[in-house]
Amino acid sequence: MYPGTRFEIVDQSNITRFPINEQVNAPLFMQAFASDKGPEEMRVVYGDEFKIYGDISFAKYGQPLLNAATLINNGAKVLCKRVVAPDATLANLIISAKVKKEEKQKTNERGEPLYRTPEGEETTTAESNSPIMETQAVITYETSTVSDNKNDLTALRTSAFSTANYDGVAEDQEATFPLFLIADNGRGISSKNVHISADYGVSRTSKFTNYNIQVFDGATLLEKCHFA
């Protein structure tokens, strides 16, 4: 260490890193192919984006899909067009709420059943008292699919809404309210699954329950959103 030498340590661990947009000057090829999954519209794909078309299987889909994968692996861009059978349908899931009225015994904030005394007061003591009954809405959820609309999202939405059954339903009957229509981004068998869970942390200060909906492909989270 020489006289006059000074060392300064500057902590830059909290400096935000900004993404750098890389300009890829790669050759562009066009390839039509069949695949397990993926969008049907033409799109330019590069690098890991090709995973949206699923596993590469020469035995199932032949040379075209292998050609596209080889181009991607060698650094090219590919203008992809996924080809499906004319009678293929769009995988979809309709989530509906089934609502019906039921007579249930009233409970207090601790969940204990309530009874009414001969004097008209509420109590948790059952002896010599009559149970207090009230009408409650019981909600259950079910899933269904439609298969007659192929790749037409507008017609698919119409079919989903047609499953509704609540106008003019008698009080002792069950009403159906379609809540969500979830469809894949291309026709064929879908391996995706949907997970809906209550967000109790956010709902704790609300008068209603918030939910999270997550879409997975295997163990990979693809999309998520919130609803109430």
Rounded distance between C-alpha atoms, residue 91 and residue 84, angstroms: 13
Q: In the prediction, which pLDDT does 209 show? A: 83
The two tokens of residue 175 are 């009403």
pTM greater than the 0.75 cutoff: no
pLDDT per residue over 17-41, tens digit each? 666 666 567 889 999 999 988 888 8
pLDDT per residue over 152-176, tens digit each? 788 888 888 888 888 877 777 888 9
Q: Provide Rg for the chain, Cα atoms.
A: 29
